[in-house]
Amino acid sequence: MNLVQAGYEILYILASADDKITTPEINVIKTFLKQNFTGEFDLVKDNQLISILDFNALMVLMADAAVFFNKNCDQEGKELVLDFALRLIKADEKITEKEKELFIRLGNEWKINMEEFLNKRLKKN
């Protein structure tokens, strides 16, 4: 696993948290990949794996990706992924409880003050 793969998995799992992935959510993921993709992981194989996992297995995969990211990335990189995650959960104009829970859990895993993070980001909009 590398940072781009971990970020991709986090975003894809967040997008699928409400049991449907919308075009606006896919566009956020595409933007993330376009800006960060290094070609160091097999996107097709990763998609195949993610698509067959149940919700509990997805949570384990997301936790593993978050731990990997936490150990291998600086604060700026973590906030970049959280920015994409926020754009993603807002993309379909409806934030579900699952999406909110996973988003907050991710920030907490990375020891980011989510209230402060959200206040800064939401004031920009």
Note the pLDDT tens digit of each residue in 87-122: 999 999 989 998 999 999 999 999 999 999 999 988
Residue 88 has a CB neighbour count (10 Å cut-off) of: 27
Nearest to 86 by CA among 68, 112, 67: 112
Q: What does the domain layout of the chain look like in residue ranges?
A: 3-124
Pick the CATH number of 3-124 from 1.10.3680, 1.10.8, 2.40.30, 3.30.450: 1.10.3680
Question: The tokens 């993070």 sit on which residue?
Answer: 117
Region 14-30: mean pLDDT is 91
pTM recorded for the entire structure: 0.88
**Mean pLDDT lowest among 64-68, 69-73, 120-124:** 120-124
Structure tokens at 9: 């998995």
Residue 16, token pair as written in the block: 């699928």
Per-residue model confidence (pLDDT) at position 124: 66
pLDDT number for residue 39: 67
